[in-house]
Amino acid sequence: MNHIQVLDQNTINQIAAGEVIERPASVVKELVENAIDAKATSITVEIREGGISLIRITDNGFGIPKDDVRTAFLRHATSKIRSVEDLLSVSSLGFRGEALSSIAAVAQVELVTKTGDALAGTRYEIHGGKEIAMESVGCPDGTTFVVRNLFYNTPARRKFLKTPITEAGYIEAMIQRLALSNPDISIRYINNGSNKLFTAGNGNLKDMIYHIYGRETAAELLPIDIKTERIAISGYLGKPSIVRGNRSYENFFVNGRYIKSPIISKAVEDGYKNFLMIHKFPFVVLNLTMESRLLDINVHPSKMELRFKNADELYQLLSGSIRDALSHQELIPEMTEQPEKKLSQIPPMKTKRAPEPFETIRGSAYIRDFKNPRAGMDEQSVYRANDGKAEPARNKTGSAFSRKEDVLPVQETLFDRKLLSEDAKPNRRIIGQLFRTYWLLEYGDHFYILDQHAAHEKVLYEKLMREWKEKTIASQQIQPPMILTVNSREQQALEDYRDSFYQLGFQFEAYGGNEICIRGIPADLYGLREKEVFIELLDELTEANRPGAGDLLLSKLASMACKAAVKGNHRLNEQEAEALIDQLMQLENPYHCPHGRPTLISMSRTELERKFKRIQS
C-alpha cells in the first residue's frame, strides 16, 4: 500500500499550471489581462508558431517594482486581493495569483519591467519554475513578457496541442475579444511577423467592430443601452441580415471580462427568436455591468464562466430589451438591382430517367358502381379510357373483373402514359397559376398542383449534383468582386478546402490583412444570395472537430439550389411553366425537392366529386 505524502513544489506548480494554462491562448489571456489591470494604454502581442515557440507581450503600464519581481512568480501571490472578503468585490481581470507561477512552471520565461519612478528596469529569467537570472537593465516604463517553448518540460501535454495555425486562431479570437472589451486601449497583434490587428484605442466600440469584423458588419448594427438599478447593458446588436451559422459571433462581457454564459446566450437567442431562421445565431457585442456581489467569478480556473445571483432578472431584461430593439426597426435588407434569371435560359437536363416508384401504385382508372342483375348483388367494375370508349378492364385470364378482390393496382396512366412524359404532353393541360406560386394541371381523370419553387429547386439540385460529380460546375465572374473579412481560423479553412470551394464554383484570393476577395461564384447563384451560401459553408467548415468536407459540400448543393430556385409569389408565364415541367420530366425522382417536400400533389376526379357530394362515399 502506498503511503500518503505531500507533493513537492514543482509538481504542485505543474498541476496548478494544468488548471490555468491549457494552451498558448491561455498564456496570452492571462498576460494581456495583467497589462490591462496595470492601466496600460498600449499593448503589443507577438507570437510565432502559434505561440508554442514564442509569445511576447509588451505594455506601457505601471510596471513591477524590483522588490516584487520574485514574489510575483510565487503561487497565490497577487496585488489584487488581501482577504477572502475581497473576492466578493474584486473588479480586476486577474486576481488569483496563479498565472505567472503556472506559466513559469511549464515554459522558459523572461521578464523586463520598469516602474515610472525607478531609474533602471529589472530583467528576470525563470525556466520551469527555477530562477536563472536577475539583473538591472535599461528599458522604458512598462512590462515585457517573453514566453518561449511552452510545455517544453511536459511533452505529454505539448503533444495535445493543435497545429500552430489552429493555436494562432485561438489566440487571435482571444485578442479580438480583449480588444472589444477595451476599446480605449490600442492593441497590436503580430503573427509570424505579419500585422493581423491594430486598433486605435479611441474608445469607440463601433470603430473596434469595424477593425475586427469589417465594414459590412459595422454598417448593420443597432445600438443597445439599458440601465436599471442593478444592471446596465450597452453595446451593439447585429441586424438579422448578418446572422451566422454558429455562436462564435456572440460576444458577452461582464464588468469588462469576456465570459461564456448559457443564461446570457439563451436570453439573446430568445430575443432574436422571431427574427432568425432555426439554427442561425446573431452577431452581438454586449457589455454588462453589475454589482460584484451579484456574481460568482470563482467558478472556473480560466474565470470565463460566471454564476449570477439574479439570473432570472437578467434573462428577462436582456431578452425583452433585444426583442423591443428589433421590433422597432425597419429590418428590410437593402437589395441591389440584379438581372432576372429566366427559366427558359436554363439548359434542359439530359439525365437518364428512371421509373417513378409512387406512380406504380396509383391508377388512372375510375370505379363505377353498378348492379349485376344476374348475381343480385352490388359489385364494382373498373373502366379504363380507350379511344374515348369505356369498357370493363380485364384480369390476367382475360375475363372481366367481377369481385373487389380481382382489382389489380395499375400505373397512373392515361393511354398507358406517365404524367411526366413526352407522350403525355399533348393531353396534359396547364390550367393556370394559383397565388403566383402553384401551377394547376389537368391530366386524365386527375388534377395536379405543382409547387414551382420545389420543382425548380429539384431541377437545379440534380443539375448541380451531376456537374459536381463531373467537376463541371460553371463559375461566373463578378464585377466588382465581393470583399469579406475573415479571421485566422476561417482563412485556414479556406486554404484547406480551396479545391472544394473551386469545384463548387467559388473563386477567391487574399486581399490583404484579414480580407479576401471573391471574384467568381457558381453560375447558378449569380444575382442571388451567393454570399450567404459562401458564409454558411465557411462557418460550418470552421467549427471544431468537423469531419471531411466532402459530405458537407454535397449537402450545401441543396442549399445552393434552394437559393437559386424561382421563389413562391413569383409570376411565371405559361411557357416558363411548361419549360419547368419539361425539365422535371428528365429527373430520376422529380416528386420531392432536396429537403423532402413534394413537388406535386394530386386529386382524382372521383375524390373531387365526393367533396362536392356528386357521388356517395
Q: CA-to-CA distance for 196 and 173, rounded, in angstroms?
A: 11
Burial of 213 (0-12, 13-18, 19+ CB in 10 A): buried
Residue that is last in its domain, among 373, 391, 409: 409
- Lookup: cell for 616: 356517395
- β-pairing, 194-198 vs 221-227, is unpaired
CATH number of the domain enclosing 32: 3.30.565.10
Q: Which residue stretches of 403-548 are H helix?
A: 452-470, 488-496, 498-504, 530-542
Question: How would residue 433 be classed by pLDDT, with cut points 50, 70 and 90?
Answer: confident
Q: What confidence score (pLDDT) does residue 150 get?
A: 95
Examine residue 480 and say whether the peptide bond preceding it is cis (omega within 30 degrees of 0).
yes
Q: Which of 189, 491, 219, 469 is nearest to 351 (CA)?
A: 469
What span, in angstroms and rounded, lies between the C-alpha atoms of 519 and 480?
8
Q: pLDDT averaged over the chain? A: 77
Joined grid coordinates for residue 487:
479571421
State whether 380 and 487 are in the same domain.
no
Same domain, 299 and 401: no
Distance CA 521, CA 410 (A): 47
β-pair type (142-148, 108-114)? antiparallel
Tell me: the pLDDT tens digits for 104-155?
999 999 999 999 999 999 999 999 999 999 999 999 999 999 999 999 998 8
Round to whole Å and give the CA distance between 106 and 102. Answer: 7
The pLDDT value recorded for residue 418 is 67
| Predicted local confidence at residue 436, as pLDDT | 84
Domain boundary among 275, 303, 327: 327
**Residue 507 included in any domain:** yes
Residue 114 shares a structural domain with residue 250: no
Residue 337 lies in a domain: no
The reply to whether 255 falls in a domain is: yes
**Which CATH number does the domain housing residue 305 bear?**
3.30.230.10
Q: Flag whether 333 is in a domain.
A: no
Residues 498 and 405 both lie in one domain: no
Segment 438-449, tens digit of pLDDT: 889 888 888 888
The residue assigned the cell 488569483 is 96
Task: Let me know if residue 58 belongs to a domain.
Answer: yes
Q: CA-to-CA distance for 94 and 21, rounded, in angstroms?
A: 14
Q: Which domain holds residue 498?
A: 416-617
Side-chain half-sphere CA neighbours of 200 within 13 A: 10
State which amino acid sits at residue 78: T
Cβ–Cβ under 8 Å, residues 217 and 209: yes
- Kindly tell me the burial class for residue 176, based on how many C-beta atoms sit within 10 Å of its own C-beta (0-12, 13-18, 19 or more): buried
Burial class (CB in 10 A: 0-12, 13-18, 19+), 77: middle
Q: Are residues 48 and 159 in the same domain?
A: yes
Phi first, then psi: what are they for 39, rounded to 5°? 65, 35
State residue 242's pLDDT score: 83
- List strand residue ranges (DSSP E) for 345-415, in order: 366-372, 377-386, 389-392
CATH of the domain at 465: 3.30.1540.20
Residue 365 confidence class, pLDDT cut points 50, 70, 90: very low
pLDDT at 361 over 80: no
Kindly report the CA angle at 608 between 603 and 613, in degrees rounded to 5? 160
In a domain, 273, yes or no: yes
The answer on 192 and 60 residing in a single domain is yes
Identify whether 187 is part of a domain: yes
Pair 402, 423 in one domain: no
Q: Which of 386, 409, 432 is the last residue of a domain?
A: 409
User: Which grid cell is 547?
Assistant: 469531419
- 514-518's contacts with Cβ under 8 Å and 24+ in sequence apart are 514/196, 514/197, 514/214, 514/485, 514/486, 514/487, 515/214, 515/483, 515/484, 515/485, 515/486, 516/483, 516/484, 516/486, 516/491, 517/481, 517/482, 517/483, 518/478, 518/481, 518/482, 518/483, 518/484
Is-contact 238 285, C-beta < 8 A?
Answer: no
Check residue 120 and give its pLDDT: 95
**Tens digits of per-residue pLDDT, 391-400?**
444 443 344 4
Give the number of domains in the chain: 4
Q: For strands 186-191 and 42-48, give the pairing.
A: parallel
Whether 617 shows a pLDDT value over 70: the answer reads no
Mean pLDDT is lowest, of 14-23, 211-220, 306-315, 482-491, for 14-23
Same domain, 398 and 252: no
Which of 57, 71, 151 has its CA nearest to residue 108?
Answer: 151
Grid coordinates given for 385? 379510357
Report the pLDDT averaged over residues 192-219.
Answer: 92
Those residues with Cβ within 8 angstroms of residue 199's Cβ, 6 or more apart along the chain or in another chain: 179, 183, 185, 186, 187, 188, 207, 208, 211
Q: 34-43, 144-153, 582-591 — which is least confidently predicted?
A: 582-591
Same domain as 424, residue 404: no
Integer Cα distance of 369 and 404 in angstroms = 11
* 129-134: long-range pairs with CB below 8 Å, 24+: 129/9, 129/10, 129/13, 129/101, 129/104, 129/105, 131/70, 134/69, 134/70
Please tell me whether residues 512 and 590 are part of one structural domain: yes
Q: Are residues 176 and 28 in the same domain?
A: yes
| Alpha-carbon span 149 to 161, nearest angstrom | 13
Three cell numbers at 543?
467549427
Give ∠ CA 389-393-395 in degrees, rounded to 5: 160
- Let me know if residue 27 belongs to a domain: yes
Per residue in 247-279, pLDDT tens? Answer: 889 999 998 888 888 899 999 998 887 677 667
Nearest to 287 by CA among 169, 184, 172, 168: 184
Residues 486 and 575 in one domain: yes
What are the beta bridge partners of residue 289? 232
Q: What pLDDT does 174 receive?
A: 93
